[in-house]
Structure 1
Amino acid sequence: MSPYPARMSDHWWWRPGVRPGRRLLVWHILLHDQPELRALVRQCQDKLDGLDGLDLIPEEWLHMTTQIVGFADEIRAAEVDTMVDEAAKRLGALEPIEVELGRLWFHSEAVMLGVRPSRALHPVREAIREAVAASVHVHQLDDDPEWTPHVSVAYSHADRPAEPVVSALALRPAPRPLRVSEVHLVEQVREGRLYRWDVRAEVPLAA
């Protein structure tokens, strides 16, 4: 990811297999119980508010995508149950992880906040990927083998110069601590220019 793209582009192009109303099973780290982090995102969004071509992500839909599993209509309910059980066993062996959220990243399709240390959350993702591989026959593990953990602040929906977006965030926000103690399996759908979901399972790391 370039730190300063020359232009913004449309995030909302249709990925292979995605269509209106089709739902994805995805593992997310959610921010619903992290008020300081939601405030950090709002601080960034306040600086971006009013710029053309951006969709600011509503607070209730803030998330860190950890692993896309696959399309819900291709995965049997029994496989989902087994996957959750397998994830619970693996994640239960991990202690909660403390990282720092707030490193600003600019992508042509989005403005994001990254984490430091950058690889600290990889054991969580590896546990989830192992659980998926052990239980789900039709999955998307091969589509995104690399992972850069981040929380998106805004998505772009237009082709336009990136300079106004970069300049709006010239004064970088102070990072905030993020404690990852649980991961959520969600059933996600794209509605217009927004990702929404229903939570299917909440899996804790070791207490």
Structure 2
Amino acid sequence: MTSTPERMSNHWWWRSGVRPGRRLLVWHILPEGQPDVHDLVRHCQGKLGGLNGLDLIPVEWLHMTTQIVGFEDEIPDAEVGEMVAGVAERLVGLAPIEVELGRVWLHSEAIMLGIRPPKSLDPVREAIRESAAGTVCIHQLADEPDWTPHISVAYSNTDGPASPVVDALSHRPKPVPLQVGEVHLVAQEHIGRSYQWERRDVVGLGG
């Protein structure tokens, strides 16, 4: 683990501007059709399943948040279309990327799996950020200057000691390959203690 906080905290506080029914446009890398990734997540969740205060993330909602763009109700469809076209133009020359998933990373609000090499997906995010900056008038790019690529396996829903989580994941899982061949634009909503979304578009790497 690269970080071992002493306490867990509730992840489900309402971020600025977020409210029930209001959706964010977000670019995700989704681990679809990758059973090794799903098995790794289930393995970690199996270690955590007996602990209180955690929400295990269902397979259908697994994701790697790559860039939050902004609120859907503030971004016209024409700008969304221009952004997607710009992302496609930038990613056409970038071949699909394989990374290693499995580095356990503990945050006070979540348990996550990071990647190696840690910077290998930066060109994907930069393509998205460049396109969004040039096409979307109201965006949140300045709010997220740094990126640590990860797939969360569970969110904390309460305040409490982190030691039970640390102990449960004391044995490192065996890493698995994560294939990144496309990125998805989704309209994401905070619903209860989960993130759910409707897909808006998909762009492949390498055209």
User: 1:165 is matched with which residue?
Assistant: 165
1:171 Cα shift?
Answer: 1.1
SS in 2 for 1:113: strand
- TM norm structure 2: 0.98
User: 2:131 is matched with which residue?
Assistant: 131
Cα distance in 1 for partners of 2:92, 2:184 equals 14
User: 2:200 is matched with which residue?
Assistant: 200
1:55 Cα shift?
Answer: 0.3
When the two structures are aligned, how many residues end up with a matched partner?
A: 207
User: 1:78 is matched with which residue?
Assistant: 78
Cα distance in 2 for partners of 1:23, 1:43 equals 31
Q: Give the partner amino acid of 1:54.
A: L
Q: Give the partner amino acid of 2:159.
A: D
Structure 1: unaligned runs, 5 residues or longer? none
SS in 1 for 2:196: strand
Q: Give the partner amino acid of 2:191.
A: E
SS in 2 for 1:89: helix
Cα distance in 2 for partners of 1:134, 1:178 equals 30
Cα distance in 1 for partners of 2:18, 2:50 equals 30
Q: How does 1:48-197 map to 2 (within 5 A)?
A: 48-197=48-197
Alignment check: 8 A CA contact 2:48 2:168 kept: yes
Misfit runs of 4+, over 6 Å? none
User: 2:12 is matched with which residue?
Assistant: 12
Alignment check: 8 A CA contact 2:2 2:104 kept: no
Cα distance in 2 for partners of 1:92, 1:47 equals 40
- TM norm structure 1: 0.98
Structure 2: unaligned runs, 5 residues or longer? none
1:2 Cα shift?
Answer: 5.9
Cα distance in 1 for partners of 2:171, 2:136 equals 44
Of 104-113 and 31-40, the range deviating more from structure 2: 31-40
1:92 Cα shift?
Answer: 1.0
1:21-53: CA deviation from partner (whole Å, max 9, x where unpaired): 110000000012211101100000000002110
1:178 Cα shift?
Answer: 1.0
1:74-112: CA deviation from partner (whole Å, max 9, x where unpaired): 000000011100000001111111110000000000000
Tell me how large the CA RMSD over aligned residues is.
1.0
Cα distance in 2 for partners of 1:198, 1:186 equals 6
